[in-house]
Structure 1
Amino acid sequence: MKVTADQALVKKINKSLILHTIRMHAPVSRARVSEMTGLNKATVSNLVAELCAQELVTEAGPGESSGGRKPLILHFNATAGSVIGIELRVKQLTAVLCDLDGGVLQEVDCPLAAHDFPYVLEQMKSIISGLIAQAPPSPYGIVGIGVGVPGMVDDGIVLFAPNLGWEMVDLRGILESSFEVPVTIDNEANAGAQGELNFGAARDVRHLLYISAGSGIGSGIIIGGELYKGARGYAGETGHMTIEAQGKPCSCGSRGCWELYASEKTYDNPGLSLPARTTGELVRHAISGQPDVLQHFASIGEYLGIGVTNLINSFNPELIVIGGALSEAEPWLGGPLRRVVAERTLPYHKQQLEITFSRLGSRGTVIGAGFSAVMHFLGNIRVTL
């Protein structure tokens, strides 16, 4: 019998649905998978057998029985392959080698002395090569590379990254040509939102704003459980939201942008007696009680609160997660941020709203970027039940 494209697609969708159900809910029995997916037991059993043959699912057991033979329990095989997640910041590259369930196997940081693309590309290639060499043996090896970049991205091309001075860089094409594995490229805040949604503070959240605050500011927007990218894929450039009408000029061409007042850009400040290059350095000064550093963090927290208030009033989220490098400064930023939000947000928008700092810390974007590569490998087909 000839198999139609429709039948093949239905099978692919069902198989994807079963795989992701096992990945998210393991350890789980076949019967429970059938209940959660709505698929009949025979379909589940047949497709689970294929997934086991592909070494993406393993069986262990027996599990608990309500009578009769005890069931075998299904597990997602996170060690079937590895992915590399990379976050490109203005002052450094951070990369992780992860298993297929977001478990970090290796991590490396590399300071950047310049922003020009040839230099950054060589640093990136060196890091990727080193992590590939450290990958453990597995059935599928390195299955993908995910990269989060501080700029607008379309189909793997970095269209515009004002803080790097990049325009129209085909980063995906270059990396795929170099390493011969699939590469996913996204805005770093979108990657961070995916990291939090799947492995951090935002699990099971339907309406989320992830604020990536570091060398700049970007936002990953989750609406109805889905990443919102806008009409052309460029949504979330909230760091270039104007909060001072006649404010400082910005590299984007505008002025008074939020990130000029609430990111690491503020560290080039003559008012700081202990100038710092990174948030980690400034945090050490804050721990020692340096007064001007404490005041500077309080100012950043207030400005973060102003921008966050605008986003709350615009999107009415249920959760806001502050991630990126500045999440390391939560003890000094959290109070001023929440105070400004409490003072300025519309009353009904504050109801059942939670503001938290990333559980993944500064790892949110690299883990989210790696997760995007995992989803590409697993053939993620979204199904609404």
Structure 2
Amino acid sequence: MTWNQQVVKANNKQYILQMIKAQAPISRAEIAKQLGLTKGTVSSLVSELIDANLCYESGPGESSGGRRPVMLLFNGKAGFSIGINIGVNYILGILTDLNGEIISEQKKTINKGTYEEVMKIVSQIIHYLIGSKPDSHYGVIGIGVGVPGIVNKEEEVLLAPNLGWKNINLKKELEKEFNLPVIIENEANAGAYGEKVFGAGRETDNLIYLSASIGIGVGFIFNNQLYRGAEGYSGEMGHMIIEANGKDCTCGSQGCWEQYASEQSLLKSAQALLQSKSDITLEYLIEEAKTSQEIRALFTKIGHYLGIGINNISNTFNPEQIIIGNRLAMAKDLLMDSITGFVKSNTLKHSRSSLEIQFSDLSIYSSALGVSAQTIEAFLANTLFEQTN
């Protein structure tokens, strides 16, 4: 078989598997009809997918006049993927099957530990998730990690200002420890991808995901593709200047958006208001806002500043949808009115006319699900190509 023949075969097999995943239960005849392939080609490639434990046959479907067709389903339990979201104040790990269904999870709170301390917790979570996996043909097929920082094309973390990281190669470290493929992704990019595959962005071609937590990151989906920029550095809009000579930022600049519209900004304002020396959490403030007008005003102010950034994003990119996720999504009822109020008053009419702004239903899971999905896709693509050799 020539190289071109191998590529064509692997691509056809991938199209067939994608169709089975999306439309199951589905027959061989229907796959052949939709893809324009011969029934013999489809039958041969499906047999290989069954041999690889990636799909299986179920009972017969409805007949269109002849013999009732045997239906095909994707085997989501053939293997499992690990998705890790490293936040500034928490680390979330999930184990998903090949359909992205969460099988087990573990979340641990952190307080700006050193790189070594954070990675020790990441390692513990991964060991826990591996230990919790059910029996399967492929076992754990890979690990995806979302990091709140600048990640280059080689998947090195060049800068994560809110973590205090510079020039970190955790991909190499994790692959050595666990002997598994590892994907490192910017946390907001991962969140955008998670929303596109599993969340509110499934029906949208052009969306922007806003990860709003201790810091702010932005991920772009343009024409159904994740956009990373020329060198992989896109989305650092948390460091967009919204106030000249404003508050100092961890990135070294002043007046950055995340200094006014993030969870960190909210907590600092609440600390000053309550004159409290004890730790104040977002969860505590959400509860207090039910009875305190002053606390509600803090959320309104954060929403106002979120609206400023969303206004700039909308006027620049004209997306169909902006999805706000991560921890501040828990406060959507306290933030939405001030966000939409600012956008309605300031965003260009043509930019806002078809814009949908909403909070993520996936909350803090968007990024972990996103890197898990990327890991699954890489595994399936590699497995299908290897079968053609």
Superposition deviation, residue 166 in structure 1:
0.6
Superposition deviation, residue 277 in structure 1:
4.3
- Once the two structures are superposed, the pairs formed by residues 69-108 of structure 1 within 5 Å of their partners are 69-108=67-106
Q: Relative to structure 1, is the Cα distance of residues 318 and 304 closer, same or farther in structure 2, using a 3 angstrom cutoff?
A: same
The answer on whether the counterparts of 1:264 and 1:278 sit within 8 Å (CA) in structure 2 is no
Superposition deviation, residue 17 in structure 1:
1.5
- Once the two structures are superposed, the pairs formed by residues 343-354 of structure 1 within 5 Å of their partners are 343-354=345-356
- Once the two structures are superposed, the pairs formed by residues 193-212 of structure 1 within 5 Å of their partners are 193-212=192-211
> Which of 143, 146, 159 is residue 145 of structure 1 equivalent to?
143
Name the CA distance, whole Å, in 2 between partners of 1:185 and 1:163.
17
Q: List per-residue Cα deviations over 1:40-75 (Å, max 9, x = no partner).
A: 322222111111110111111211221111112211
Is 38-47 or 315-324 further displaced after alignment? 38-47
Secondary structure at the residue paired with 1:261? helix
The answer on whether the counterparts of 1:156 and 1:173 sit within 8 Å (CA) in structure 2 is no
Partner of 1:285: 288
Name the CA distance, whole Å, in 2 between partners of 1:317 and 1:208.
5
Q: Relative to structure 1, is the Cα distance of residues 292 and 119 closer, same or farther in structure 2, using a 3 angstrom cutoff?
A: same
Superposition deviation, residue 360 in structure 1:
1.0
Partner of 2:214: 215
Partner of 1:297: 299
- Once the two structures are superposed, the pairs formed by residues 249-264 of structure 1 within 5 Å of their partners are 249-264=248-263
- Where does the alignment leave 5 or more consecutive residues of structure 1 unmatched? none
Within the alignment, does 1:160 sit opposite 2:159 as a pair? yes
Q: Relative to structure 1, is the Cα distance of residues 277 and 107 closer, same or farther in structure 2, using a 3 angstrom cutoff?
A: farther
> Which of 315, 318, 324 is residue 322 of structure 1 equivalent to?
324
Name the CA distance, whole Å, in 1 between partners of 2:52 and 2:180.
19
Name the CA distance, whole Å, in 1 between partners of 2:337 and 2:21.
37
Superposition deviation, residue 114 in structure 1:
3.3
The answer on whether the counterparts of 2:88 and 2:111 sit within 8 Å (CA) in structure 1 is no
The answer on whether the counterparts of 1:62 and 1:72 sit within 8 Å (CA) in structure 2 is yes
Partner of 1:180: 179
Is 109-118 or 365-374 further displaced after alignment? 109-118
Q: List per-residue Cα deviations over 1:244-266 (Å, max 9, x = no partner).
A: 11210111111111111111111
Secondary structure at the residue paired with 2:226? strand
Partner of 1:268: 268
Is 95-104 or 263-272 further displaced after alignment? 263-272
- Matching residue's letter, 2:201: A
The answer on whether the counterparts of 1:175 and 1:183 sit within 8 Å (CA) in structure 2 is yes
Q: Relative to structure 1, is the Cα distance of residues 277 and 79 closer, same or farther in structure 2, using a 3 angstrom cutoff?
A: farther
Name the CA distance, whole Å, in 1 between partners of 2:200 and 2:35.
25
Partner of 1:308: 310
The answer on whether the counterparts of 1:158 and 1:167 sit within 8 Å (CA) in structure 2 is yes
Partner of 2:387: none
Q: List per-residue Cα deviations over 1:75-109 (Å, max 9, x = no partner).
A: 11110011111100111101111111111111111
Name the CA distance, whole Å, in 2 between partners of 1:40 and 1:356.
44
Q: Relative to structure 1, is the Cα distance of residues 371 and 278 closer, same or farther in structure 2, using a 3 angstrom cutoff?
A: farther
Q: Relative to structure 1, is the Cα distance of residues 182 and 277 closer, same or farther in structure 2, using a 3 angstrom cutoff?
A: farther
- Matching residue's letter, 1:182: P
Superposition deviation, residue 272 in structure 1:
3.1
TM normalised by structure 2 equals 0.94
Secondary structure at the residue paired with 1:268? helix
- Once the two structures are superposed, the pairs formed by residues 38-77 of structure 1 within 5 Å of their partners are 38-77=36-75
The answer on whether the counterparts of 1:153 and 1:160 sit within 8 Å (CA) in structure 2 is yes
Name the CA distance, whole Å, in 1 between partners of 2:189 and 2:322.
14
Alpha-carbon RMSD across the aligned residues, in angstroms, is 1.5
